[in-house]
Amino acid sequence: MFQNEELLNSYLESTCDEESQLLKKINRDTYLRQTKPHMLSGHYQGRVLSLLSKLASPKRILEIGTFTGYATLCLAEGLVEGGEIHTIDIDVELQEQVQQYFDESPYREQIHYHIGDALDVIPTIEGMFDLVFIDADKKRNLIYYDLLIDRIPSGGLILIDNVLWKGKVLEDKPDAQTDAIKDLNTTLAKDNRVNKLILPIRDGLFVLRKK
């Protein structure tokens, strides 16, 4: 429908709220320092995450896949007073840089930053989560979902990124990675415990609400 995707993205960004100065700094630093900067949520998707979080007004958030902390800070914008966000990443080399960003933010006291394998870390974090954002190893998305679905209260949200996988989910002969994402999407589409839809934002964002 839109032939110039870059022009469309610029238009979308011009019609939503601006990034904070810290988010702009993270965006800039990520594109200067990281080998895969496209993993960053970015301005428009960041505003989507922020708005969904504000609509949910979560007390507790869990994020799987911190990367450089951009999405973490966007999600934290919706926390109620006294709320907290737990974010997990396996990349210890980014820890010092990301922690500095968190320390500069107004949510520094609310962010709990965990380094390690998410499957090991999640069981150590007790309690329920009002909002979960999964943006890590795509082959384990369904494992994370199954592990957390019973820890989401009625009305809680699960967000899963990259579920369109650059359009490869439409291919007749997908590779193994795409196959895993297609299996995830098919499984979630049949799960009657949740209301669900995929937002075709960037690489696809699955939004699921626990009934």
Tens of pLDDT along 87-115? 999 999 999 999 999 999 999 999 999 99
- Assessment of whether the complete model's pTM goes beyond 0.85: yes
Can you name the residues that pair with 166 across neighbouring β-strands? none
State the Cα–Cα distance between residues 114 and 136, nearest whole angstrom. 14
Q: What is the CATH number of the domain that holds 25?
A: 3.40.50.150
CA distance 139 to 43: 26
Residue at 101: amino acid letter: Y
* Helices marked H in the chain: 5-14, 21-33, 42-56, 70-76, 95-104, 118-121, 141-148, 176-189
Count of structural domains within the chain: 1
Segment 147-173, tens digit of pLDDT: 999 999 999 999 999 999 887 888 878
What is the span of the domain harbouring residue 109?
5-210
Compute CA distances 143 → 30, 114, 119, 137, whole Å. 28, 19, 9, 10
- What are the tens digits of pLDDT across the range 185-204? 999 999 999 999 999 998 89
- Written as six digits, the tokens of 182 are 């297609």
- State residue 27's pLDDT score: 96
pLDDT at 3 over 70: no
How far does Cα 211 stand from its chain's mean position?
21
Q: Are 162 and 203 in contact (CB under 8 A)?
A: yes
The 8-class DSSP code of residue 148 comes to H
Question: In whole numbers, what is the pLDDT of the chain averaged over residues?
Answer: 94
